[in-house]
Structure 1
Amino acid sequence: MFFADDVVFVGKWCESNIDTLTNVLDCFYRAFGLKINMSKSKIMGVHVDSSKVNQAASTLGCQILRTLFKYLGTKLGGTMHRDIAWQEVIDKVKERLSKWKMKSQSYGGRFTLLKSVLGSIPIFHMFIYKAPMRVLKELESVRRQFFNGHDPKSKKASWVKWSTVTSAKDQGGLDVASLYALNRALMLKWMWRFFANQDSLWTRVVKAIHREDGNIDIRANSHVTPDLGAMDNSEA
């Protein structure tokens, strides 16, 4: 898998595959003159004996990747159904707000920032994980306080109801996306892709792990997409 200058190799754990990977990287270097910095690369074995992983890392001259880890800014391998796992996302939103000095912004300025930035900060996590309701409520509270120009501990009344802010324009609202709706919509998109792209690689992997129907009708323990069965939950 390729993303910009980032590459991920996935395969069955065996010595022949490790040798093949070494040869591929060597051929790439000889063909293009670009040498891979193995000291910045990492290898991970899923359900593989640690001694074998250590040996492979030593052979390749790379580091060992362990869970929990981040890829493209998103946490992987953790228990994202727990509130504490989202604390970093919440802190990041609050940190961004503190830099904007909301009291110096007009309603129009705060509205623009609300739509363009505050909803996008947690979007990568929400595209993969079903966010706990407490986390969604706290993030919405942060957004609401920012829009109304209130300090976090303020008890002042809001001039505009948050339900109005998140309502569609044709219903008299301001059309700011609800994080709950955004999270569920992004996850439902995976469901649509699952049925629309039956022959894609990721769909075949899901079927191999979670049965032919993708485990849609069963609420599984995992909270990672495609845990499509978890979409039955209709909390509001």
Structure 2
Amino acid sequence: MNTVPIYNRLSLIAVFCLCFACSAYAQKLDVVKGVVFKKNTPTTISFVTITNLNHKMPDVQTDELGSFHIEVALGDTLLFKKSDYSPQYIVVQTYVSQSVYMQPVIQLNQVTIKDVSKKQEINDALNDYKKKGQFYSLNPSVGSVLTSPISGLYDLFGKAPAQARKFRQYTQQELERIEINKRYNKPLVKQITKMPDEDLDSFMLSFTPNIEDIRVWSDYDIIDYIKRSYAYFVKNKESLKVEKLY
């Protein structure tokens, strides 16, 4: 049986609480200043949220220059957070100024990389056509019809293969247009001719070179072609408009 009087136990508890309070008070708070940098650079980071995980006090933020000051006790852990950066934890071991470095987060839109070429996208679409239509070739030959009559005839006359061939024809034209536009485009024509904006679309529509020329022309050839074409355009602008109308 416990013979310690109740008042003695209360006294022990009171002493314990007093010691704990004194110990907590001994951990005095002081102000620590510092600057937050982007890791491996001299660039400072503004508006980083800083939380003292050991004391309940309002969060602080770095200013426009990345500087901060916060009340801490030695041994406190500070959490630095900002979107697009990995969280950074710092244990305060001294009251001198702190330099904190945060690592930028490299975010991908999806697990699969989206930087796929236009040509690859088109090839993927054609492969989907082939899978869904269950046909072997977009250009069936007479030999394929003879060696495999069912699949060969389907490739020739089936609806899905016909749609795929139309799609491929369209995408081939689209790829050629992109290739032409890399070397013959509105900014280039505008720079060389200084033509007014209202004439630019009409000129581009009438004098866009074909893909065979673009593939063999040098830059000088393209510039010379634009100059000669614009000279003709200026002299025959009205007649060209009539031709387009009809």
> TM-score over 0.5 for the alignment?
no
Structure with higher strand content: 2
Q: Of the two, which has the highest radius of gyration?
A: 2
Per the shorter chain, which TM-score range? under 0.3
Q: Please give the TM-score of this superposition, normalised by the length of structure 1.
A: 0.22
